[in-house]
Chain A
Amino acid sequence: MEKFTQITSIAAPFPRVNVDTDIIIPAKHLKSIKRTGFGEHAFETIRFDAQGNPIEDNVFDCERYKDASILIAGDNFGCGSSREHAPWAIHELGFRCIIAPSFADIFAGNCVKNGILTVALPQEDVDALVLAAEAGHDICVDLNEQTVTCGNAQYEFDFNPAHKEMLLDGLDEVGQTLQSKPAIDAYEDKQKLMTPWLF
């Protein structure tokens, strides 16, 4: 898994509320059996009109935010489906960190598995970062310190300690869990006696 420790980058502002997984990657593009190739369809309805022509000045394609690795988003970002294609698509657009007032649970979990850090901050702090992003200022996100720094402003954020460890170390989570195989087997032996109808 890809590590995340710290990044400093300009940010792309996209503060719309309730951005759902169908906006991030529409279902018709979920037919690939690979993990790649979703970026070109990411945020399709924001980037292209009904005829498929590029929409001018959209935040994802405009020159000014081309090098942004941070996305500043709106409340309840990533709501809807469990499709991991959503973080795959966002990653392919070059984003490694998303800052928003809140995230849907499944989406946030899927981001961790793909080395994308989701930072939840109060609405007023996100509003301030949107302005900073529009002004083209650099933003620094440090996972170890759990801080977002922009100019003189610094914001602290909460993060699931288990997820933090995974992102900092870039662990192969399956390999890690398989080290607990004796505990898993012991659990199964116990459950076979407790709830034998499940085995």
Chain B
Amino acid sequence: MSQATPKTMYDKIWSNHIVEDRGNDVALLYIDRHLVHEVTSPQAFDGLRAAGRKIHRPESIIAVPDHNVPTKNRDLPNPDPMSEAQLTALEANVNEFGLDYIPMEDDRQGIVHVIGPEQGFTQPGVTLVCGDSHTSTHGAFGALAFGIGTSEVEHVMATQTLQLKKSKNMRITVTGELPVGCSAKDVALAIIGTIGTGGGTGYVIEYAGPVIEALSMEGRMTLCNMSIEAGARAGLVAPDRKTFDYLRGRPYAPKAGQFESAVTFWAALASDEGAMFDKEIMIDGSEIAPLVTWGTSPEDVVAVTGRVPDPKEFVEASKQEAVEKSLTYMGYAAGTSMTEFPIDRVFIGSCTNSRIEDMREAASVIKGRKVASNIIEAMVVPGSGLVKLQAEEEGLDKIFLEAGFEWRDPGCSMCLAMNPDKAGPGEHVASTSNRNFVGRQGPGSRTHLVSPAMAAAAAIAGHFVDVRTF
């Protein structure tokens, strides 16, 4: 008897969700879960209203405000009327369409990509979408999760499906053991530095190997979160015992009577032995060092012990030109040591690094130390109210406050500076977020992407330091 062709995890989830096969690798794909926030949804709700359409399955949606919410003085009126209008529109829309909603005042409120897993809404084997590119985060659970535009948000609301073309399969295997002082963020940056911001375009990336298996669920979320920075719409990690243990007992997770059959189903999702990947990348995890970005693209990474590159080191003329533009924007000369320049501001937060483990990692570095005098502001923004409460239970808030950090309320905050949390023109920010694009954290701001430990150490030293010897 001939064996069935071995399948990748992506192949399995894709074929499990085909409603109609439309040929040429195009299918009408069923969407199980949908997260909604205030920025990319108002036009979708308007579209439904204009056409007199209903939401196909309201119970497949959780809505939460995150991008615009202030992270302090929440009892006062929102300082920005445009933000307030967007938050009000979300509340009105969820009421009109009868959706599960976590308001700003609720302890469960937070960044969509933190609360989905935290509530057990994110589960292995599901298709999960959100009008936000960092939806790739949820792939940490073996969910096929990807960001969509507003027209697609409307399409999923009305039909519970998307017409999609299947991506190609890529596997990135990280071997060895991650050195002490490095975390999932360094793995993500190392991968993007290796394959480039366009390296994953057209692919779904499965992360595998001993380093990935050893990561906690929080670490896997950090890694999958940045798949989009490598150009891949989705990342995946095979669900295992850690995944199941994380989910057990969470509000939206399968209830006791169904949990074991769910686990049996989930355990079968991993890629089959011998499954074919269109592209395979191997990275030696033991060689990864704490990384820092020097430029305006997440692929512009260098070890903290390294130097800002010279544009001449790059082969392609277009890249040379991009590097020159980056260095001008960042105010760096080629050859500058990464530990030489002062840092002006520190941001620990975002859907990449705002979970309890990130809080612990940062707190362990700063315990008993003080923020350097040249730092204008150092802030910690937990990813959700529940992360905040947990951290406070562990006394982490006191460590941050005593060191001179601000301890804020949850939201996207200075990752994209839609709320009042911004960096000023020319300021260098040590940031645990995901994008160092021009002006991302405020007009003229200069972002350096780092791990929570590296951001914490930079706050104390006033410049980047090698956290391994700090």
Kindly name the residue among A45, A80, A181, A196 whose own CB sees the greatest number of chain B CB atoms within 10 A. A80
Cβ–Cβ contact A110 & B133, under 8 A? no
Any A CB within 8 A of the CB of B322: yes
- When distances are taken between beta carbons in the complex, the residues of chain B under 8 Å from A50 are 425, 443-444
Which residue among B46, B80, B437 has the maximum number of chain A CB atoms within 10 Å of its CB? B437
Beta-carbon contact of A177 and B155 below 8 Å: yes
In residues 78-134 of chain A, which contact B (Cβ within 8 Å)? 79-84, 87, 102-106, 109-110, 113-114
Measured CB to CB, the closest approach of chain B to A30, in angstroms, equals 5
Distance of A35 Cα from B425 Cα, bound (Å): 29
* A105 contact from B68, B197, B202, B261, Cβ within 8 A: B202
Interface residue? A55 (CB, 8 A): no
Q: Which of B28, B32, B438 contacts A45 (CB 8 A)?
A: B438
Q: Which residues of A129-162 are within 8 A (CB) of B?
A: 160-162
Q: Does B24 contact A (CB under 8 A)?
A: yes
Asked if B4 is at the interface of the complex by the 8 Å CB criterion, the answer is no
Among residues of B, the one whose C-beta sits closest to the C-beta of A76 is B198
Q: Is A170 an interface residue (CB 8 A)?
A: no
Q: Which residues of B contact A74 (CB under 8 A)?
A: 318
| CB contact between A84 and one of B56, B149, B297, B440 (< 8 Å): that residue | B149
Determine the chain B residues whose CB is within 8 A of the CB of A173 once the complex forms.
151, 155, 163
Contacts of B416 in A (CB 8 A): 22, 27
Whole-angstrom distance between the alpha carbons of A102 and B30 in the complex?
A: 28
A168–chain B nearest beta-carbon distance, Å: 15
CB-based contact A82/B40 at 8 Å = yes
* Residue B452 interfacial (CB < 8 Å): no
- Contact pick for B51, options A33, A75, A174, A188, CB 8 Å: A174
- Among A162, A187, A195, point to the contact of B163 (Cβ < 8 A): A162
Determine if B85 is an interface residue (Cβ-Cβ < 8 Å): yes
**Is there an interface contact between B82 and A75, defined as CB atoms closer than 8 Å?**
no
Contacting residues, chain A, for B312 (C-beta < 8 A): none
Residue contact B418 to A33, C-beta cutoff 8 Å: no
Interface presence of B161 (CB below 8 A)? yes
Within 8 A of A (CB), among B291-321: 297, 299, 318-319, 321
On chain A, the residues within 8 Å of B417 by CB distance are 27-28
* Residues from chain A with Cβ under 8 Å of B258 in the complex: 196-197
* Contact (Cβ within 8 A) B85 A33: yes
Measured between beta carbons, the chain B residues less than 8 angstroms from A18 are 197-198, 297, 299, 322
Per a CB cutoff under 8 Å, which of B42, B322, B440 touches A27? B440
- Is the Cβ of B161 less than 8 Å from the Cβ of A184? yes
List of B residues within 8 angstroms of A113 by Cβ: 149, 151-152
The residues in B between 112 and 137 inclusive whose CB is less than 8 angstroms from any CB of A are 123, 125-126, 131-133, 135
Q: Does B463 contact A (CB under 8 A)?
A: no
Digit string of A32-65 for contact with B (CB within 8 Å is 1, else 0)?
A: 1111000000000100001000000000000000
- A82 near B132 (CB under 8 angstroms)? yes
Q: Which of B410-428 contact A (CB under 8 A)?
A: 416-418, 425
Q: Decide if B151 touches A110 in the complex (CB within 8 Å).
A: yes
Contact of A75 among B132, B198, B437 (CB under 8 A): B198
Report Cα–Cα, A183/B47, bound state, in Å: 23
B152 touches A109 (CB 8 A): yes
Cα A45 to Cα B442 in complex, Å, equals: 12
**Are A32 and B159 in contact (CB-based, < 8 A)?**
no
Q: Are B151 and A84 touching (Cβ within 8 A)? A: yes
What distance in Å separates the Cβ of A105 from its nearest Cβ neighbour in chain B? 5
Q: Which residues of A contact B418 (CB under 8 A)?
A: 27-28, 30-31
Residue of B nearest to A176 (CB): B163
Query: Within 8 Å CB of A194, what residues of B?
Result: 265
- Contact B26–A161 (Cβ < 8 Å): yes
Instruction: Find out whether the CB atom of A102 lies under 8 angstroms from the CB atom of B19.
Output: no
In chain B, what residue has the closest Cβ to A172? B51
Assuming the A-B contacts A33-B42, A162-B163, are A187 and B19 also in contact, with contact meaning beta carbons closer than 8 angstroms in the complex? yes
* Chain A residues packing against B (C-beta within 8 Å): 15-18, 20, 22-23, 26-28, 30-35, 45, 50, 74-76, 79-84, 87, 102-106, 109-110, 113-114, 160-162, 173-175, 177-178, 180-181, 183-184, 187-188, 191, 194-198
Q: List 21 A-B contacts (CB under 8 A).
A: A20-B435, A22-B435, A23-B438, A31-B85, A45-B438, A45-B443, A80-B437, A81-B147, A82-B131, A82-B149, A83-B149, A84-B40, A84-B43, A84-B149, A106-B133, A106-B228, A114-B151, A175-B51, A177-B158, A184-B159, A194-B265
Residues of chain B touching chain A, judged by Cβ–Cβ distance below 8 Å, are: 19-20, 22, 24, 26, 28, 30, 32, 39-40, 42-43, 46-47, 51, 53, 56, 67-68, 80, 82-83, 85-86, 89, 123, 125-126, 131-133, 135, 146-152, 154-155, 158-161, 163, 165, 167, 197-198, 201-202, 228, 231, 233, 254-255, 258-259, 261-262, 265, 297, 299, 318-319, 321-322, 325, 416-418, 425, 435, 437-440, 443-444
